[in-house]
Amino acid sequence: MVSKKSSTKKALDNKISLVDAPSPMPLRFGDDPYVWACWLYYEDGRTQGEIADIMGISRATVNTYLADARSRGIVNISLEPERLGSLSLAQELKRHFGLDDCLVVPSDDGARSLIDRLGTAGGQALSRIVKSGDTLAVAWGRTVLAIAEHTSSAVQDVTVVQATGGTRASFAYTPELCAAAMAGALKGRLVNITAPALVKSREARDVILQEPLVDDQFQVLQRANKALFGISSLRPNSTIHTSGFFESVSIQEYLSKNAVGVVAGRFLDGQGTPVKGPLDERTIGIDLDTLKAIDVRIAVAGGFDKVPAILAALRGGYVTVLITDAATGSAILSAEGVRPVTARQARARSQDDPLQPMQMRSHVKKFLNDADEVVEEMLEGLVAAHGTHLVPIGGSQRSLVARNGPRPGKVGLVIGGGSGHEPCFSGYVGKGLADAVAIGNVFSSPPPGPILECARAADGGEGVLFVYGNYAGDVMNFEMAAEMAQLEGIEVRTVLTTDDIASSSIEDREGRRGVAGNFFIFKIAGAACDRGLSLQECEALTRHANARTFTMGVALEPCSMPQTRRHNFEIGPDDIEIGMGIHGERGVTRQNMAPADAIVDRIMDQIFVEMNPAKGDSVAVLVNSFGGTPLMELYIIFRRVRQRLAARGVKIEANWIGHYCTSLDMVGASISVMHLDGRLSDLLRHPCDAAAIRVA
């Protein structure tokens, strides 16, 4: 339903003939009246007379818009698919979360960064939402700064107030700079919060807030009628990390309370409930109650890694206007068990009929004795089966060392992660590969204790290299273990694997997940260590391998946990999940099932965008099963991967097909491609011998 309110939105562009008072154009249509008219006509089924009344234009103009849209290719019986998909997502997000409005940026070919696209959309929206005389509270972050850079408005007497105190960070998107940039874009009055965002103690905060100048600034903040903010995840490279919030406090204080995201320096759990912690009484800035009292609260955020955080902000009611991208919007709805519907489908569905939850199987059959002992029993069998390659450290099966790995004068390599990914990580322990591995519970990081045991066992006097996936729990526990090892005189360097190209935008490579590409990165790291290179050289080569490894996965069926024996979520009979991780989570987006070649083409198209191979280049390829996909289908996938690479004149120097990094019993597969150069080719051929891989 198109809103009839006109008091809070900008009128249509002057090039449109106005009659009476037109309705404001919903954000999801951008500034394109052609798309709005086409949606009303083709999707809402409105008559040209009704459209004229809604848009505030003449019937003749409506007729002209519809004719011009067909000639311009915007519509051909139906709306162009990318725009239609974004409009449907925006409509469903608005309906499901009770938003005032929503704008979804269509997917593109990757030519523009996600932050730039969100900044453009946010600037467009802000130029229409902000009115003369408004007081706008502005938070900080890369996306907020991008919005300021794309905002242009002719409003008058606007006040822009900094929503939090300042930070010591040296980057360009600090709270001070974001507020200043926005004030400049809106030609408004700037009110800074002349205090730090984080102080040493509650007493210091109370003293600062009693200062008359700061009190006056907070009075302005209390009067804000609109707010603009980004949403931060808790990934290691997130804004909340780089702004220095965890310099004196461990993130574990918040992770242990199930925090998933941050809004304006305040933490939320998955349901949007504020998470109290040691930083609250030391933070100077807008609190969540004050934010929630503001009439218009505009959140701009995107990226798969931010889905839990965005969901938290939506569930908590902190957002009235959401601006995101199509992939993120789809993932948000998928996490809620909602499928986007077109306007026609929505009209066909009864207004009184609540959305029915997806049906799930009662349980999945598994070879188990006691679900609570599944990891211990698995490890007992693993050690018995592969005792020629690895043995427990000090009697604990949670830390294993290679029989022929560690030796004096050699850099030690320690890897690790949760169970449920077998043969990763334990299958890559052996001569020429990892020296030791720490193993956690299903999809959970190993604790610092076993990691430290591995560091001690792997240490040959030349330092130890930690290599593991970029997940908050792993980062926290491995960092703690590294600090303890340093205290014992063991030098530790760390490389986080970030090969999953679907999990975050290309400009946010450091925020991506580590998935099946671990296989290649572990192989290169192990070879470098085995050749007796220095710790610094081993670290550099491992980082180089990570930067040239690209992975993307697709799931046909979800996995099921041993404790529940139920699917983590449901995938429809004709659906697939694109951009899968390895922890049983949903993909980045859901699409219709397609032939194998079409699915591979989608993955390879995205890999080519990032890898940009030239004719004559060489690669290594891994086609990996998530656990439930047989070799027959993996070979069909590899067949098409080889065809696509051959068409570009790219040579496959080495390939592996099979189960290498699984997600329990998930039906699906991932494709990993390492873009080789002379150094990587040489290290890839270096001999190794472990339970899951042997290179002679």
- The DSSP string of 567-605 is BSS---TTEEEES--SSS---SEEEE---HHHHHHHHHH
- Rounded Cα distance between 423 and 580, Å, is 18
Q: How far apart are CA 690 and CA 393, in angstroms?
A: 17
Separation between Cα atoms, residue 194 and residue 214, nearest integer Å = 6
Query: For the chain, how many residues are written?
Result: 696
Q: Which two tokens stand for residue 662?
A: 């699984």
Backbone angles phi, psi at 392, to 5 degrees: -65, 150
How many angstroms separate the CA atoms of 497 and 516, rounded?
A: 10
Token pair recorded at residue 688: 């190794």
Sign of the dihedral defined by the CA atoms of residues 316, 317, 319, 322, in that order: positive
Residues 105 and 87: their CA atoms lie apart, in Å, by 9
The catalytic position among 389, 567, 583, 675 is: 583
- Six-digit token string for 10: 């900008």
**Contact between 229 and 298 (Cβ < 8 Å):** yes
What letter represents residue 421's amino acid? H
421 given a catalytic annotation = yes
- Indicate the SS3 state at residue 130: coil
My answer on whether omega of the bond before 425 falls inside 30° of 0, hence cis, is yes
- Are 428 and 692 in contact by the 8 Å Cβ rule? The answer is yes
**Structural contact between residues 598 and 610, judged by C-beta atoms closer than 8 angstroms:** no
Cβ neighbour number for residue 295 with a 10 Å cutoff? 12
Structure tokens given for 585: 């989570």
**The two three-digit tokens of residue 23, written as one number:** 């309705």
Select from 462, 442, 585 the least CA-distant residue to 528.
462
Per DSSP, 320 falls in state S
**Amino acid at position 248, single letter:** S
How far apart (Å, rounded) are the C-alpha atoms in residues 126 and 31?
A: 12
Q: Do 256 and 277 touch, CB atoms closer than 8 A?
A: no
Handedness of CA 429, 430, 431, 435 (dihedral sign): positive
Amino acid at 427: G
Contact, 28 vs 103, CB < 8 A? yes
Catalytic-role residue among 241, 421, 567, 675: 421
**For residue 212, is the peptide bond before it cis, meaning its omega torsion is within 30 degrees of 0?**
no
* Region at 676 (left for phi over 0; alpha for psi -120 to 50; beta for the rest): beta
* Residues identified as active-site: 421, 583
